[in-house]
Structure 1
Amino acid sequence: MRVHLSSAQLEVPINERASVTVGVYNDTDVIAGYRVTLLGADPSWVTTNGNDTAVFPSETASIELSVALPEDFPAGHRPMAVQVESLEDLEEAVTVALDVVVPRRDQLNMRIEPSSVTGGRSTTFGILIENRGNDTITAALSGTDDEAVVKVAFNPNDVTLEPGESEIVRAETRGGRRWFGVPTPRIMTFSVAGVEPVREGIATFIQKPRIGRWVLSLGGLICAISVFAIVITHSFEQVAENQKQGQDLIEAALDDDPTNANAVATNPGSVTGTVTGPADAPLAGVTIELVGLDDIDGVIAATSSAADGTYQIPGLSNGTFKIRAAGAGFSTSWFGGESFAEASEVGVTLGEVSEDVDFSLEGRPGSITGQVVAEDPAGAFAVLVRTAESIDGMTDAEVERAEVAPDGTFTFPEVPSPATYEIQIAKAGFTAEPRPVRLAGGEAAQGIEILLREGNGTISGGVLGPAGALGNVTVEATDGVSTIATVSLTTGDLGAFTLRDLPTPGTYTVTFSREGFAKESISVPLNDVATVDNISVRLVPALGTIEGVVRTSSGAPLGGASVTVSGGGITRTTAAASTGLAGAYILDELPIPGTYTVTFSAPGYVSETRAVDLASVAGTSPAVSIDTNLVLSTGAVGGTVTAAGLEVAQASVSLTNGILTYTTTSADEPVGVYRLAGIPAGVYTLTVVRTGSATSSQLISLNPGDDLLVDVALEPQASISGLIFDDNSGSPIARPDAIVELYLVETFPGAAPLQTIVTGADGAYTFLGLDAPNSYVVAVAAAANDPTLVASTLVALLPGQQVTGADVTVP
């Protein structure tokens, strides 16, 4: 068959249905039926119009595939695939990529608890923010009051929420209050920005004055009746203490009432777990609901499982609950029991996570209804069997047997699902090709037609291997319309097989196959005779080889590289040769046919994995050659450090990404050259430091295998220069042979000088290579044999600065 889509991309807005047309061309010589499924999507999201349609040879069928996604489906591009399967041959399937685009849908909810608080100078509100959209939202909070006298601080100030997540933000309000008078209501407006329109909520902060009117009255009463004043003062101290503890009483009340799970706690608890289906496969899109202990219908909180089957119910207060899981095509499951009454209780504690609340769901029973097409279907039986892949040593292959009605119909009303089955029709003297059926959870499969033909032909014989008779060989005969299969005996008459009820006359292609052996096919005519019983076939072991050479990205052989092959239940590892034909490897005696993955790895290089199909070819051992070039997993940075066009040695070079730091020094030979190798790929800051020069920093991006050349030009080093004069009775003249010394300000004059220079005939001096920023003292000694300092000047120096004119006059 050939398959094409009307569009390779399908945009599916939430709460809307979108469609794509699947064209299926029948390139066989028989009438065929096809089924279209969307891989990567829950079957409940997808509907098809025209599925199971019979398509005549050389004709095309158009099947409309329609998709509607749930509200919590994430936004963005989701790679899916349209799979078209032949209803005549389950192994014949074509998959075409479909890019499903889900537009962003923002829905941000907020709730403020409590809505009104009476307090003094400050109080705290809890703001619950929930992301009910299908994309990540970063929300920024702000708060104001009408009179702009209250300041609000949020913890945290910005919140990033994935779809379905929620978080409690503490809004701490503080503002000045009156000394006297009545309580003042402050209308607080809290805003959450991040989606359009901005979400807002109103709360009231009632501020009590420092001294109320009743306090003034109390003062007068104290003056009149001192005894009562003491009692009243004590009473109001208790009132103030109770008011201070108001917030704690609210939290305590919440703790004592576990059914009040919708109240906002400032440090909520949560429940997490995993949902799996048959064969422990993770299930996505399953609804998880948390209910109270006394109300099975009162859903307190709910969420859906992610693609990996995990889920989380956040924002919960203290309490004990029961939890259930339900999904399309699956039975409802309670955690820890078969029903609400038997379910285990799940405790939630503020600030803690209740983990491992896991569910394993079973599919709802499905049904299969079909039709046997024959002149007289009476006396036939429909047998439902499990496919070979789903049978183990403890499982019966036959699931159910149903009698075919006189009109040819048959029904299997209660069938375990999801599963893949095969329908076989049995009637003496007749034959029918087994029909594969893939049943989704709770699906009612209909419209299945199976052709019943007269069959009295028989083909029998034996299969041999290298050591004699060979059992467990699959023997399959087909005339292009019907296919009959059996397995050679493993006990008794070892290797013997018999294919019965073959339609005659006809010519059959009989194929013999077994894992680890090359496949053999022969042609057997059943024309003049209905029975052929002298077939003898010998199978030879099928072993393949994978070989090749491992090289670096530059083409050099990479000896010692590790080569690992896995697949078909085996894993083998070898090493590429280091001598002789360096880099060469060979992996032989691999069972065929088989699909293998070959992984190449070496220290310091990026691993590479290839997929290889070793096909079975009669009488041969196929070899596949795979050469590879591994790319370095790290990179290198090097270059030359210069200043004023000259190479600079002994400059400090460092490379850091904030976590890893690599350092070196520019070389003395060759002068100024540096190199840092073995650096993981990433973005780094390259910094070069030299005494007296401004630090040089730059960002570089390093990819695996890069060898970057980064030359660094530094600014000149800091220096101080000037002239030394003799005062000469007010007519300064240059002082030759003057002893000029340089000191740091903080060590002057007790420490030894950093540098000492003797001036020439012109009295000039220069101090080079100075550390900066710093402050220095330039001082002049009396004479070579007299260290007494007779004059000095102060110089402030910045990195790279050349200070000139720092002249000193000796009195």
Structure 2
Amino acid sequence: MRVSSTVERLDVPPGGSGIVPLQVINTSAVIESLSVSVIGLPDDLFRSEPTALALFPEASGALTMTLALPDAFPAGTYPVTLVVSGSAPGARDAFHDLDLVVPPHPHLALSATPSRVRTRGRAAFVVEVRNDGNVPLDVALRALDSDRTLRTTLTPSTLSVVPGAVTSSTVLVRGPRQLLGSDRDRPLKVAAQATDTQSEVDLVLRQRSTISRGLLTALILLSILALWALAFLLGMKQVFGTDPFTKVAPPSFFAATVSEDGTTGTPENPNPAPAGALQKTDGPVPAGVGATITGVITGASDGQGVGRITVDAMRNSPKGLVVVSSAATQDDGSYSMAGVFPGSYMIRVSADGYETAFYGGTPTSDGAAFVAAPAQQVKSGVNMPITGLPATISGHVDTGEAPGVVAVTVQARPAWDGADPNTFYPAAPLPIDASGSYVLSNLPAPGTYELTFLAPGYQPTTITERVLGGQNRFALDVRLGAGTGQIGGLVTDGRNPLGGVQVSTTSAGKTLVVGTPTVGQVGQFVLPNLPTPATYVLTFTKQGFSTRTVVVDLTAGQIRGDLNIVMSGGAGVVTGTALDSSGAGLGGVTVTAGGSATTLSTTTLTSGAVGTFTLTGLQPGSITLTFTKPGYTSASVPVTLSASGPTAPVTVTLSSALGSVTGQVTQGGVGVAGATVQATDGVITRTTTSTAGGAHGAGTYLLADLPAGTYTLSVTTTTGGPVVATAVVTIPPGGVASQDLPIGGP
């Protein structure tokens, strides 16, 4: 047969199809029915039109091969061989080699379980990342909050997903507490970004109020009752009270009286009132005269707002500094102190894990700047940085191996805006200890850090952690995902590279098949994108050659290209059974085929069909099968292998090579029971005790399972006593020797 085609390179995208036209010439002398098979890819991916082509001698015809790839077919270049075969006996196959090129097609899909959670403050969502493409993807996840009121943490925030796989990440969401009101939906998105592809999924945090509507209604009713009671008491006091109104405000709360000469002082009050003070009037001070001071407290390290910081407004008094008003910062660092008496104050910020500071940038009140608080006005922009004490992040890393087997390192990089991307803590990667734990100390705080974990053969993993001042934070456990591996090598017949070999293995429950090219890099094969660590069983098959099976262990991310597979010519097969003398199957017998170019051997089965064996890869001709097993006599059987058909099963019976000796210990013609009988050939020693009964009566002994040979027998009647009788006996292979042992005479 001769075959030709204009297609030597076929580019087919995942989920697409391609066509390979073949022009075939029947070079045989008979009418042929031609069909096409494929080496290098599963046959079910191809369709031949027509399925069979009938040609007269020297006639030509056309065959069309249509290839349809599944959506997740891995990207890469695959050597494929199309084999055109005839049905007539002795027909020679024709081959056409081509390269199938599958381009990368990355595609991500996200889903969430659940996608909506009703809670008061925090919730956890599980986001599943599915790789619907045909290339491994390194996926970065991030949460998008449109109104910036939610705090989110993704664990892990980066994933490595192989084609067809699904990996999950946990999204922890925390919203600001809602004291009153109806349920409020806080939407957010989780976005996944990888090379040339991205996807999003919508999540909803539905927040309940801390105070329910029923409780709120009860509080309102109680408030109404309290107000009625208060009004009643105040009214009674106004009706029956005789004391004059005595409440007054300090002089500093009233503006100075302007004199005729334009000055603000008076003989009674030569010092003017502070700016913003109220005019003095008859009656009580009007309500709402207090000032409001607002600002934002930020971290000195990252410039981000810091929550739960105490802000104090302080004034001097005869007894020292006195706290006039206090407030706590919100999560974004903002604070507000309302109802502050008009005047000038020093502002102090403090919290556990942070250095105390005063407005103006001083650690003490000395040199602190004063903040003026005008009455009935808001003094805004009172912003301050606060310095946190160094923080610590610790955690545990799991590689799937025993602790200490994989060398893992970790480094922390500042992740806030304006941080130097080339700054790391520590400066050199920190090795994980033998138990898989790590501690990153002396981290500037507050701050957000990206922790990157690296290990040979594993995908880099990054998590994000935020630390507050002086915090000892325990990070979530990190599970490192191993990188994909690869197995490659060369298939030969012992001298030359061998093309057209089908190489198959199983990966993730699916069969992966590739072939060795017949032109170009003849005999080379590559199995790419294999999950690791794992053990793979590779099977090499080719018509006319014995099948080879090789077991390959891949460590995490390991790439092996050093396999050198030698396939033996000939596909002759001999089967048979080894039996013992009782006719039962005998397992563990070594069967060796001699007389051929290659010596092959196998072992009979010890379970299932015990005693059966199969020898493959034998050349046609005469061979000798040798059967050996310790304790049994060897046996050899000649077998003739024919190229026309299988050989009839061989049955061989092995005789035991172990013998025994038996007899009677006597004294004065009477059997002696309890005597110790020992047999030795200088290497093997066996011991037994004569019995009170048996085949010979009292004094009978039996020493079994002795290899054939000459043994010395000795008799003692007491433990450690002298030998009272001896004899020499020869045990035949598989036979029984008889020897009586009289005491005190021959």
Q: TM-score, normalised by structure 1?
A: 0.32
Q: Radius of gyration: which is bigger?
A: 2
Q: TM-score, normalised by structure 2?
A: 0.34
Q: Identify the structure with bigger relative contact order (alpha carbons < 8 Å, sequence gap 6+).
A: 2
Q: Which has the higher strand share?
A: 1
